[in-house]
Amino acid sequence: MARLLHYPLDPFSRRIRLQLSEYGAEVELMEERPWEQRAGFLKLNPSGMLPVYIDDDKTVAAGVEAVSEYIEEAHAGFNGSLLGASAGERAETRRLAAWFDAKFHHEVGGPVLMEKVIRRFLANGAGGGTPKMNRVRAGLGRIRQHLDYIGALSEQRNWLAGDRLTLADLAAAAHLSCLDYLGDVPWSSNEAAKSWYQRIKSRPSFRPLLADHVRGITPPRTYADLDF
C-alpha cells in the first residue's frame, strides 16, 4: 500500500489526505515530526517539508506541489478531476491553492502553528519554550481578510474555484482546519465562509481529520462538531 509521511497538524499533509480520500485511494499514514529532522525523512525530502508520498512501486513524491500533482495524474479520470475540467478552471484552482499554501500559511497559519504547536516540541536551545504570543496575535489579526475572501468567492460561485469542489477548497479547508483545532478561527465573522466550511467539513473525506488528536493539545468541542 502507498504510504504518506504526514503530521496531523501540518496543513500540507491534511490537503493530501483529503485529496486521496476524495479519490477513494487508500494510504498508510506514517506520522513524521519534521522538526526532528530525521535522516531517513531528509533523504526523502531534503527541504524537510511534509508531506512525502511513497507509492506502491516505491516512486517518491515530496512536497505538497509534487504530491498533489502526482495524485492528480494517477487518479483524475472518468470520476472527474479535483483540478477542474477546463484549462481556465485548472489555472484558477492552482492560483487559489497557492494562495493558501503561500500567502495564508506565511501570514497566518505558519506563525500560529509554529508558536502554539511546534515550539512545545523543540528543545530549549533550539527554539523551544513559551509561545511568542505577539506572533500569534499578528497572525490571527490577518485571518479575517482570508475568511472574507473565502466568503466572497463561495457566494459568487458554488465552491472556491468554480461550480465544483477542487483542490482549492481542500487547500483552504486544510489550512483553516489546523487553526480550528486550536480554536482560533473566528467563524462568526463571516457567515458565507462558515457555510462553505460546514459543507466541506460534512464530507466523508473530512472525518479522519476530525478524529485527529495531538498529544497535549485538546481541540475545542466544536472542532469535530458539524454544527459549530
Q: How far is the CB of 62 from a copy of itself (least distance, A)?
A: 5
Site string for a copy of itself, 162-201 (x = CB under 8 A): ----------------------------------------
- The per-residue b/e assignment along 99-118, b for 16 or more CB within 10 angstroms, e otherwise, is bbbeebbebbbbbbbbbbbb
Work out whether 145 is an interface residue with a copy of itself (CB under 8 A).
no
Out of 43, 95, 132, 137, the residue judged to bind a copy of itself by CB under 8 A: 95
Work out whether 2 is an interface residue with a copy of itself (CB under 8 A).
no
Helix-strand-coil split of the chain, %, nearest 5: 60, 10, 35
Work out whether 138 is an interface residue with a copy of itself (CB under 8 A).
no
Residue with cell 506563525: 111
- Which phi and psi angles does 112 have, rounded to 5°? -65, -45
Stretch touching a copy of itself by CB under 8 A, among 25-33, 40-48, 120-128, 217-225: 40-48
User: Residue 5's beta-bridge partner residues?
Assistant: 30, 52
CA neighbor of 150 nearest in space, from 89, 205, 199, 194: 194
Work out whether 41 is an interface residue with a copy of itself (CB under 8 A).
no
Q: How far is the CB of 61 from a copy of itself (least distance, A)?
A: 4
Out of 25, 30, 42, 102, the residue judged to bind a copy of itself by CB under 8 A: 102
Looking at the Cβ atoms of 95 and 213, the one nearer to a copy of itself is 95
Site string for a copy of itself, 55-84 (x = CB under 8 A): x---xxxxxxxxx-xx--xx----------
Stretch touching a copy of itself by CB under 8 A, among 19-27, 52-60, 120-128, 194-202: 52-60
The span from the CA of 90 to the CA of 119, in Å, is 37
Looking at the Cβ atoms of 63 and 80, the one nearer to a copy of itself is 63
Dihedral angle sign, alpha carbons of residues 10, 15, 16, 18: positive
Residue with cell 478552471: 89
CA neighbor of 104 nearest in space, from 203, 50, 178: 178
The span from the CA of 160 to the CA of 99, in Å, is 12
Q: Footprint of a copy of itself on this chain (CB under 8 A)?
A: 45-47, 49, 55, 59-67, 69-70, 73-74, 87-88, 90-92, 94-95, 97-99, 102-103, 149
